[in-house]
Structure 1
Amino acid sequence: MIGRLPLDEQLAALKSVLSRNEVLVDVLHRTAALNLSGWYVTAGCLFQTVWNVVTDRHPTSGIKDYDVFYFDSRDLSWEAEGAVIRAAGEAFAGLPAEVEVRNEARVHLWYEQKFGVACAPYASTEAAIDSFAATTCCLGVRLEPGGRWRIYAPHGLSDVFNLVVRPNPVLAPREVYETKAARWRQQWPELTVLDWPSAPAFPMPSSS
């Protein structure tokens, strides 16, 4: 079972598995050519590719879109992000999938309106990935110069390969996690979805 292999072997297995998704590989190469600051391809297109391969589905089955995060705090205007999105739209033209590009330096400007909780400004793309509703989602991949894969996986890879969805109660509300998990389980019924914790993940220290 891949999820019980040593980490270096899990990383090699992840690259091998993700490479079976030809759309994903194309997105990685096209994104690299955009020269975005601190970019990663992230979220569902990664862990869902793994779920598909592990459960003998087509690598692209059930993948709604491909998320590209980047981080540029020099200009937080919508106009600046919109210019990047338009350039990306041209770069991804002809792909048989939707690619969504977002500047994670701007997330705090709209997050509360969309999700009902405030979001402190992120300091990096990695910090944004850290705040996904499930730890299983906290995964990012980009291509470095020379074609080397850079993989960000703050919670490791065992849950991804073992089809475990684990809550990450650091920002996203419980209902966001449960809605996503229910949708994923419809597509991949083999998943084990862990319950949202009843107590805070990080209790406040005693004042005594």
Structure 2
Amino acid sequence: MRIGRLPLDEQLAAVPAVLQTNPALVAVLRGARTLDLPGWWVAAGAVVQTIWNYVTGRDPQHGVRDYDLIYHDPSDLSWEAEDAVITTGREVFGDVPVEIRNEARVHLWYEKRFGVPCPPYDSAEDAIDSFPATTCSLGVRITASGGWKLYAPYGVADAFNLVVRPNPRQAPRHVYEAKVARWSSAWPELTVLPWP
């Protein structure tokens, strides 16, 4: 039976085993843990894309351009503070492309980049809730004791069922459509639902 059709608890239990098929993702998770960032998650694309690769029988890193490491630190919203974390991250992750972002400061640049205002996020989870596709609204971390934590506000069935569902909460339509165009070329099996 397909994982996306299992009971929710069994779907969630399958996620760590599926994600562990991607050694680069596991290395990023372990490295992220050493940075001790507040409220951190490895989120979005690389997480769901590893699931898509598992379901479609592709190499675990197929189509993965980078790994998003997000955290939420409202104590210092300066670019310099975020850049210091990015610089440290480069030392930790080496050649693995990891994009590190402090979600507490996204509202400072979001409108200029995407054309719509963004209220300040109150947590990294708040940011995940607003990702352009609910399917990609996933965050994962490995705890200090080695346990796996998953944040999936919209569940994981769509990821396992290769369904991309828009999330109009924050991102504009053109952001969603640009992402699904790239994803569809790498994973033609996806069922992409239209923007509402």
> Is the pair's TM-score, using the shorter chain for normalization, greater than 0.5?
yes
Q: What is aligned with 2:35?
A: 34
- 1:181 equivalent to 2:185? Answer no
Q: What is aligned with 1:196?
A: 195
CA distance in 1, matches of 2:24, 2:83: 24
Q: What is aligned with 2:146?
A: 147
Q: What is aligned with 1:201?
A: none
Shift of 1:145: 2.2
CA distance in 2, matches of 1:63, 1:81: 24
Moved over 4 A (4+): none
Q: What is aligned with 1:7?
A: 8
CA distance in 2, matches of 1:73, 1:120: 14
For 2:176, what is the secondary structure of its paired residue? helix
What are the residue-to-residue correspondences of 1:1-208 with 2, within 5 Å?
1-93=2-94, 95=95, 97-197=96-196
Runs (5+) with no aligned partner, structure 2: none
Shift of 1:153: 0.1
Number of aligned pairs? 195
Residue identity in the other structure for 1:30:
G
Q: Deviations over 1:73-101 (max 9, x none)?
A: 001011111111111111111x4x30111
Residue identity in the other structure for 2:33:
A
Runs (5+) with no aligned partner, structure 1: 198-208
For 2:35, what is the secondary structure of its paired residue? coil
Residue identity in the other structure for 1:72:
D
For 2:99, what is the secondary structure of its paired residue? strand
Residue identity in the other structure for 1:8:
D
Q: Deviations over 1:101-130 (max 9, x none)?
A: 110000000000000000000000000011
Q: What is aligned with 1:200?
A: none
CA distance in 2, matches of 1:157, 1:80: 33
For 1:150, what is the secondary structure of its paired residue? strand
CA distance in 2, matches of 1:179, 1:85: 26
Structure 1 or 2, whichever has the larger Rg, is 1
Residue identity in the other structure for 1:193:
V
Shift of 1:11: 1.2
